[in-house]
Amino acid sequence: MGRLTSWKHWPLLLGAVIVAAAVLAALRISPEEQGYRDALLLSREWYLNNQDDFFLHYTYYPEEDAYSNETHRLREVAALWNVATLANELDDPELRTLAQRGFSSFEKSFEFDSEGRFFYVDITPKSVKLGYSAFIILALLEMEHPRRDNYLDGFAEGILSLQNEDGSFDTHFFSNSTSSTDYYPGEAMTALMALYYHDADERYLSAVKRAFPYYISYWRGNPTTAFVPWQSRAYSQLHRTVPDTIVGDFVFEMNDWLLERHEPSGECRYFAFDDRRSTVGVYMEGVAEAYALAKRRGDALHARCYGNYLREGAGFLADMQVKASEHAAAVGGFPGADGSMRVDRQQHAVFALLGACDAGAIEC
């Protein structure tokens, strides 16, 4: 067929384009039907457009097109892990460059304890959090670095040094503080399980197994939504290697309780997300692990319920994400109730979508 070179053919060509566009628009009815790749690509844009001299701006206000001077280094290092993971998912050199730059900024605060023979992050000297070590490990597992193995071993030693005889973990180095028990131990055990699958060091697996009785008792006396996602990550991964019924049942116990907070219908559908905004992403991270576990165990009832939550939650996040704006820094962000965008909301939403994709609940 010859090319349409005459002007008189352009109306015909234009009509064909319009019809094709209409067909494509009709086919792209919902995020579920087109997959969630667009949401990940938009998140890439958000990260690249919100860099600062250190790594990333912590908070952005789209209405003012302005940044806060506030920082939150722990959440920023968690975002480093997310950027490195997304870079690998998208095979994106610009995100890899951003991750390397962020790592270099945090690396300046690495300290080595010569007595305990471990590394720790001293970026907030009055509060040396266990969570820093966890996120550095998780980020390094997604990156290339000349000292990667040395750092992985050293930060893991630091985590192990904080485990007590009863299996619990202290939440801070060089401190008796027990704050953030709902967060840091789960983050640390998630890192230990990831390291175990990286190099098969039995000490990491043993530490998580030893912690399990303590934290199952802790949660039953102090049930909170904050506890569930990280512990679900850790114990679902533990269950992959140690398919103990008690471990799997506890993951289900936590996530069943969490989903009930969302007031589902009797069919475990139509969850109430509206008042939760981006925290839906946080919860989805744990539910994705529970969903994968349910499929491994052949538990159709839990798989259906968790799958429904993930699909509805993914649609909720995709609808919330900013697709277009006069301000480039707003595009791809997930606004909170006040309209602001933060790195922690971003990384949780991205991990939620990636987790749901990896578990097979949605397509990316």
Least confident of 209-218, 258-267, 307-316: 258-267
- Residue 266's pLDDT is what? 81
Q: What is the CA radius of gyration of the chain?
A: 22
Q: Would you say residue 179 has pLDDT above 90? A: yes
DSSP secondary structure code for residue 177 in this structure = -
Question: Token match 């008042």: residue?
Answer: 275
What tens digit of pLDDT does each residue of 319-328 get?
999 999 999 9
Give 177's contacts (C-beta < 8 A, 6+ positions apart): 127, 170, 171
Contact indicator for 80, 99 with CB cutoff of 8 Å: yes
pLDDT band at 210 (very low <50, low <70, confident <90, very high): very high
Pick the residue with more confidence: 6 or 191? 191
Domain borders along the chain are: 36-359
pLDDT reported for residue 34: 54
What pLDDT was estimated at residue 32? 54
Looking at the chain, the whole-number percentage of residues with pLDDT higher than 70 is 90
Q: Is the pTM of this model over 0.85?
A: yes
Average pLDDT over residues 150-176: 98
Helix axes 343-359, 279-297, angle to 10 degrees: 20
Question: What is the rounded (10 degree) CA torsion for 77, 79, 85, 91?
Answer: -110
Write the pLDDT tens digit of every residue in 39-85: 999 999 999 999 999 999 999 999 999 999 999 999 999 999 999 99
**pLDDT per residue over 211-251, tens digit each?**
999 999 999 999 999 999 999 999 999 999 999 999 999 99
Show Cβ contacts of residue 238 under 8 Å, excluding neighbours closer than 6 positions: 189, 193, 205, 208, 209, 212, 247
> Between 1.10.3720.10, 1.50.10.10, 1.20.140.10, 1.10.10.60, what CATH number should domain 36-359 receive?
1.50.10.10
